[in-house]
Amino acid sequence: MKKHKGLFICLGVLIILGIVAFIGIKKLVYPDSSKNKYGDRLNGIEEHKISDESINEMKETFLKNENVVDFEYVLTGKIIKVFIKVKENTKVDDAKELSEIITKNISEDDLKFYDILYYVTCEGENELYPISGSKHKTSDLFVWTIKLEKLPEEGEAEDAE
């Protein structure tokens, strides 16, 4: 037994290190599910609930428009996502103007709390769609992204001026 005293001490230390390593790896691989996945980023969301009435009003207003075919609303954390589908012959500027429906149906206080993503697709084949707009909670305007089939060749942009 005395011959193996050092071996037993090393084995005991290795076992303790193995257990500590196992616990550490387990915490990395399996996060604590009792905590909110957003952390404290959603503080104050209870005071900024978007009412079902506002959503239904927004939906009705979109669907009343002759160019709109479909409407979908999704709230994820502090991001409001609005998806609409327009008719094939709808002008991009007309689709962009429809974003005002969102801002008119949400209170000023809530507009300063939520970010808004606005996606527009077309029911048919149209090279101008899809387009998307985003509005940060600190901004009053949407920033637009449009579909480009191809970028202008070098020199073409200068010739257009």
Measured distance CA(117)–CA(132) in Å, rounded: 7
62 and 14 in one domain? Answer: no
66 and 1 in one domain? Answer: no
25 and 49 in one domain? Answer: no
Report yes or no on 131 lying in a domain: yes
Read off the amino acid at residue 93.
Answer: D
121 and 90 in one domain? Answer: yes
Residue 114 CB contacts under 8 Å (≥ 6 apart), including other chains? 48, 50, 78, 79, 80, 106, 137
Whole-model pTM over 0.85: no
**For position 28, what pLDDT does the model report?**
82
pLDDT tens readout for residues 66-121: 999 999 999 988 899 999 999 988 888 898 998 888 888 888 888 899 999 999 99
Mean pLDDT of the chain: 83
Residue span of the structural domain in which 19 resides: 1-35
**For position 155, what pLDDT does the model report?**
57
State the total domains in the chain.
Answer: 2
Residue 32, pLDDT > 70, answer no
